[in-house]
Structures are given as C-alpha cells and as structure tokens.
Structure 1
Amino acid sequence: MGAKNKVIAGDYQGKNILHTFGIVSIATSLTKTIDLNKDLVEEYEVIDESSRKSATSAVGRAFVGGVILGPVGWLAGLSAKSKGVHVVAIQFKDGKKSLIEINDKIYSSLVKKLF
C-alpha cells in the first residue's frame, strides 16, 4: 500500500499533497494551493517510531501530545509504517499544523525545499 499523499490530520485535513516540478504544496481548493517552503513552514519533523516514543521536538510534542489531534489512535498507524511512506508533522509560521503522509519522491522534494 502506497502513501496517501494527503494531509492526514490537523489543519487542511483530507486535502491532497501536490508535487509539480519539484514544488510540494497542499491543494486547499480547486484553484488555491499552499506551497510547502521555507517562507511558510516554521519547522517540520518526520514522525517515526523514535519520535513517537520520545516526542522531544516542539512539533512532535504538539502532535503526539494531542494538541490538535485529540486521542492517540493515529499513532497505531505509524507503527505499521509502509516502505516508501513518510509521515511528516509541519508547523506553519501562521500557527497552523498539519500531519502529512507522502511518498519517497515527494518527501525528497519537500526536504530540499525546507533545507
């Protein structure tokens, strides 16, 4: 099973993640997108087994602590992580937070844009 390439929790939940010419964005409507780049993203963290257990970063604490997600039911899905699927917590500069699930190709572009 591949990555959903969607926002799976938080702000923009259910919206698709687009990947065009190396630009990664969230499709908020048919015509509007939010680019995931250094200008809009405060910080990000790949959520995996280790961050799930320690949750030491501010972004990780916000998600794992349930600030925007409530119950920790979504954590169960992280332990069954598929190969080529990345779950990334994003903290936007405007205070919004999104948890996204993306494939290797999108992940690679995202990391380059946020470096």
Structure 2
Amino acid sequence: MGAKNKVIAGDYTGAHIAMAAGQVVLNISLGNMIILNKKMVASHAVESETKGTHTVSLTFADGKKSLLELDDQMCKALLAQLF
C-alpha cells in the first residue's frame, strides 16, 4: 500500500495533500486550501523514509504543526517548493 498523501497528525489531521496548478497544496475542505510554500511554512523536516513513504513534519507561519505522509513524487515536489 502506498503513501496516503495526507496529514496524519497535528493540525489539519485528515486533510489531503495534492498538486494544483503545479504547486503542492493542503486541501482543508472544498475550496479551502493552503499552498505549501516558503511563505506559509516556517520550517519542515523529513522525519522518516521507508519504501517510497516519507513522513514530513511542517511548522506553519502561524505556529500550527502537521505531520504528513507522502509518496516519493509528492515529497520531492514539496521539498523543491520549500527550498
């Protein structure tokens, strides 16, 4: 089973991570999303990597924190966006 591409803990638990217009976004609800870029994310860390599944922690600019489970493609896109 592949990575879920979603928030697995913390703020926004259960929200899906997707690509929209070439950017990685966190879909909170229909029409409500956060673009995961350097402006919105204060810090990030790759917590673990196993068989195509990456666990990434994010601290948002407003102080909220989320733990994400991402597949290889989504993780690479996110890290490039946050570089």
Tell me if TM exceeds 0.5.
yes
CA contact (8 A) 1:18 1:25 kept: yes
Structure 1 residue 13, shift from structure 2 partner? 0.2
Greater relative contact order structure (CA < 8 Å, 6+ sep): 1
Which protein has the larger Cα radius of gyration, Structure 1 or Structure 2? 1
TM-score by length of 1: 0.69
1:27 maps to 2:27: yes
Structure number having the greater strand percentage: 2
Number of residue equivalences:
83
Query: Which residue in 1 is equivalent to 2:68?
Result: 100
Structure 1 residue 20, shift from structure 2 partner? 2.6
Gaps of 5+ in 2: none
Find 1:112's aligned residue among 76, 80, 83. 80
Query: Which residue in 1 is equivalent to 2:3?
Result: 3
Query: Which residue in 2 is equivalent to 1:86?
Result: 54
Residue deviations 1:1-25 (CA, integer Å, cap 9, x gap) = 1000000000000111111343111
Structure number having the greater helix percentage: 1
CA distance in 2, matches of 1:109, 1:16: 15
Let me know the Cα RMSD of the aligned residues: 1.1
CA distance in 1, matches of 2:52, 2:60: 24
Percent same amino acid among aligned pairs? 48
TM-score by length of 2: 0.94
